Amino acid sequence: MTIKIRIAHLEDLEQLVELFNAYREFYEEASDIGLARRFLQDRLSKKDSVIFVAEDAVAGTADNKNHSQKLIGFCQLYPTFCSVIASPICVLYDLFVDADIRKSGAGKALMLAAHDYAANNDYARLDLTTAKTNLKAQSLYESLGWVRDDVFYTYNKTITPAK
């Protein structure tokens, strides 16, 4: 398998929607293709995130004239800032590889692309969070030099929109 990493384009939307929906299901959210499509279309159109995709080239015909690209994974970065270090950073919020393709190196390749993007665009740091039970992902992160934060706690609060 040949894996190519590149930045996603609006033309990737339909394949990306399927992966994004599976990603949300992995984190125990209900399947919602419409929600996934609207969310990703907004990110791609507004360019308020950077989405890398992993693709596998699949020959379309025996004479190799037609090629279709199958997206097998993605990684999404959100640019933001860290006040403490007074620098721009990126949050690596989403990383997902199709379950049938895992252990192909696609996840690692996506992580390395995120690192290179941050380094080449003057981001001081990449941050991510993952489920405590997601041991396979933690192993990948640590193998690439990521360090688990044992100093700070992460808090969340759900906001109900005002009417």
Q: What is the pLDDT of residues 101-146, one digit of tens each?
A: 888 899 999 999 999 999 999 999 999 999 899 899 999 999 999 9
Q: What is the pLDDT of residue 59?
A: 33
Say which residue, 163 or 74, is predicted with more confidence: 74
Over 50: is that where the pLDDT of 78 sits? yes
Q: What is the pLDDT of residues 6-50, one digit of tens each?
A: 999 999 999 999 999 999 999 999 999 999 999 999 999 999 999
CA distance 36 to 95: 15
Which residue ranges make up each domain of the chain?
Answer: 3-128
Query: In the CATH hierarchy, which fold is given to the domain comprising 3-128?
Result: Aminopeptidase (3.40.630)
Q: Provide the 10 A C-beta neighbour count for residue 90.
A: 23
Q: How many CB atoms lie within 10 A of CB 100?
A: 7
State the DSSP string of 70-102: EEEEEEEEEEEEETTTTEEEEEEEEEEE-GGGT
